């Protein structure tokens, strides 16, 4: 552990004061993400570079003093990083989430049972709102259901910021952050890293990366596309705004209230999905458009961001109609009856959100890893493979599981005898790893509940 005193960045340049605006209570809201206008459709310009680090804890189970000390150290380390890099895409945005093994194995049962959010079933608290991830109908046999204790997600417009912060946090020995030697950020002895996953999300990046790495199908990716499959996935109207994905915000999903310990927290899902790019781009533009969105879409090839406004939402009847009469289901239409509110809804904070407002948040990014940069629990292939590190936030794992099963779409597929390639786009995806996590509020981002034991 370090003896070096924290460097007083605020006394040199107070980076926090260079920015106006409040620090969000949640970890998943991203200050400084600007909105672009794509032919009158608002699109969030998300940070360019992303990294995820997953780990098991190295501290002894049942060692309460060690856990409390770990909490203090991680808290200080994250605060030190945020004193150096602004909480903006041009600085660094960090999210910390915890897997079920952490709550089951490190937090005493009596404490976890008292504070963990519970999913509401028929209006009554049932199981914890974070569950073990499960297999969905179209998963391959080799899918890994992971059991990590913790996940860190780093985002920045500058890859170098992420690499430096990761080194300072996890690698022993002398490290520099913004030119100043630092040791007080190192917390690597607390963890055994299980994976490092990196990727990107930015205009033109998928095509450039795929072309430079000689990935088959690269030339078919539209030049301005932000993701491999060609269409924008960060529509403002397709991403839950404010605190909508939090456990407590929309009544009816969990037993959490604004006063609960896990208020401003959420369920985070992390998975890795490989994409069959060549197969996908064998389909023509109208076919891809309709499989991505819905079977009634007619936008031309120049439109990568078709409107996702509330009034474009596909609810259950229309989805059934698409299956029955058009014999084709679009990816986002398959799930919108669950990912969006089906009536005008008042949140627990008093905001009224109109019918068709999305409450599910996605922060996924593209990757060329096969499957990860580093994988302690399985092989890594040097052959680049297009894919997505999928990150999604919902008020409960139970809701996520329902949404994700709809993405496979087997019920409608069977009922209307749809071919695989007409049931969304799962025919072109292979999920290799997945896990559900609890992402606490910023206030509890360091080892939640450890202070209660
Ligand atoms: C290769 C993987 C994936 C790609 C390329 C992808 C792409 C997209 C795109 C382009 C949209 C519509 C654009 C937008 O709303 O911004 C969308 C919507 C959506 N995606 Fe995915 N997606 C992928 C995987 C997943 C997974 C694993 C889930 C998990 C359940 C998921 C859930 C959703 C939901 C719920 C919506 C609709 C949000 C709404 O409009 O209410 N997606 N996706």
Is residue 1 predicted with pLDDT exceeding 50?
no
pLDDT band at 22 (very low <50, low <70, confident <90, very high): confident
**Residue 8, pLDDT score:** 76
Over residues 59-99, the pLDDT tens digits come to 999 999 999 999 999 999 999 999 889 899 999 999 999 99
The rounded Å distance from CA 26 to ligand 1 centre is 22
Provide the whole-model pTM.
Answer: 0.96
Is residue 2 predicted with pLDDT exceeding 60?
no
> Is the CB of residue 257 less than 8 Å from the CB of residue 264?
no
CA distances from 208 to 50, 283, 375, 382, 433 (A): 17, 21, 26, 19, 26
Among 21, 108, 54, which Cα is nearest to 452's? 108
Q: Which long-range contacts (CB under 8 A, 24 or more apart) does 317-321 make?
A: 318/294, 319/412, 320/412
C-alpha span between 291 and 421 (Å, rounded): 8
**Residue 184, pLDDT score:** 85
The rounded Å distance from CA 36 to ligand 1 centre is 19
The rounded Å distance from CA 233 to ligand 1 centre is 7
Alpha helix (H) residue ranges in 34-142: 64-84, 100-105, 109-115
Over residues 434-445, the pLDDT tens digits come to 999 999 999 999
Give me the chain's average pLDDT, please: 95
Domain ranges of the chain: 36-452
Helical pair 397-408 and 331-339, crossing angle rounded to 10 deg: 150
**Ligand 1 atom nearest residue 358's Cα:** 41
Over residues 402-416, the pLDDT tens digits come to 999 999 999 999 999
From 238, 245, 267, 338, give the residue whose CB has the most ligand 1 atoms within 8 Å, as the site to mutate.
238
The rounded Å distance from CA 387 to ligand 1 centre is 14
The rounded Å distance from CA 221 to ligand 1 centre is 18
CB 337 near ligand 1, within 6 Å:
no
The rounded Å distance from CA 336 to ligand 1 centre is 10
Nearest CA to ligand 1 atom 28: 404
Is residue 53 predicted with pLDDT exceeding 90?
yes
Average pLDDT over residues 206-212: 95
**Ligand 1 atom nearest residue 390's Cα:** 27
CA distances from 311 to 40, 231, 357 (A): 15, 20, 9
**Ligand 1 atom nearest residue 238's Cα:** 15
Residue 95, classed as helix, strand or coil, is strand
Give 73's contacts (C-beta < 8 A, 6+ positions apart).
1, 187, 190
């Amino acid at each position: 552990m370090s003896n070096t005193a924290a460097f007083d960045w605020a006394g040199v340049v107070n980076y926090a004061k260079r920015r106006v605006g409040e620090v969000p209570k949640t970890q998943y809201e991203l200050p400084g993400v600007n909105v672009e206008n794509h032919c009158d459709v608002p699109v969030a310009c998300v940070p360019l570079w992303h990294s995820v680090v997953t780990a098991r804890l190295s501290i002894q189970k049942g060692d309460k003093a060690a856990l409390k000390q770990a909490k203090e150290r991680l808290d200080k380390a994250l605060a030190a990083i945020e004193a150096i890099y602004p909480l903006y895409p041009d600085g660094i945005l960090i999210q910390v989430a915890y897997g079920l093994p952490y709550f089951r194995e490190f937090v005493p049962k009596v404490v976890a049972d008292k504070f963990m959010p519970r999913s509401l079933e028929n209006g009554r608290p049932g199981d914890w709102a974070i569950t073990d991830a499960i297999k969905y109908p179209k998963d391959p046999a080799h899918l890994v259901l992971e059991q990590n204790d913790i996940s860190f997600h780093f985002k920045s417009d500058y890859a170098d910021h992420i690499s430096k912060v990761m080194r300072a946090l996890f690698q022993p020995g002398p490290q520099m952050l913004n030119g100043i030697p630092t040791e007080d950020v190192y917390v690597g002895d607390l963890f055994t890293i299980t994976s490092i996953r990196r990727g990107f999300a930015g205009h033109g990046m998928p095509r450039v990366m795929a072309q430079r790495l000689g990935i088959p199908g690269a030339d078919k990716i539209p030049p301005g596309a932000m993701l491999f499959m060609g269409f924008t996935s960060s529509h403002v109207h397709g991403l839950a705004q404010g605190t909508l994905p939090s456990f407590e915000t929309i009544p009816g999903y969990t037993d959490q209230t604004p006063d609960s310990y896990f208020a401003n927290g959420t369920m985070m899902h992390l998975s890795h999905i490989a994409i069959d790019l060549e197969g996908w781009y064998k389909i023509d533009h109208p076919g891809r458009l309709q499989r991505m969105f819905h079977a009634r879409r007619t936008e031309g090839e120049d439109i990568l961001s078709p409107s996702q406004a509330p009034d474009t939402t596909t609810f259950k009847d229309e989805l059934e109609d698409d299956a029955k009469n058009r014999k084709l289901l679009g990816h986002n239409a398959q799930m919108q009856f669950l990912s969006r509110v089906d009536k005008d809804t008042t949140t627990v904070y008093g905001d009224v959100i109109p019918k068709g407002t999305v409450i599910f948040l996605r922060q996924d990014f593209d990757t060329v890893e096969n499957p990860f940069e580093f994988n302690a629990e399985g092989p890594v292939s040097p052959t680049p493979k297009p894919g997505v590190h999928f990150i999604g936030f919902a008020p409960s794992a139970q809701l996520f599981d329902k949404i994700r099963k709809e993405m496979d779409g087997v019920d409608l597929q069977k009922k209307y005898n749809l071919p695989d390639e007409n049931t969304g786009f799962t025919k072109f995806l292979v999920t290799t790893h997945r896990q559900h996590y609890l992402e606490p509020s910023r206030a509890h981002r360091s080892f939640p509940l450890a202070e209660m034991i």
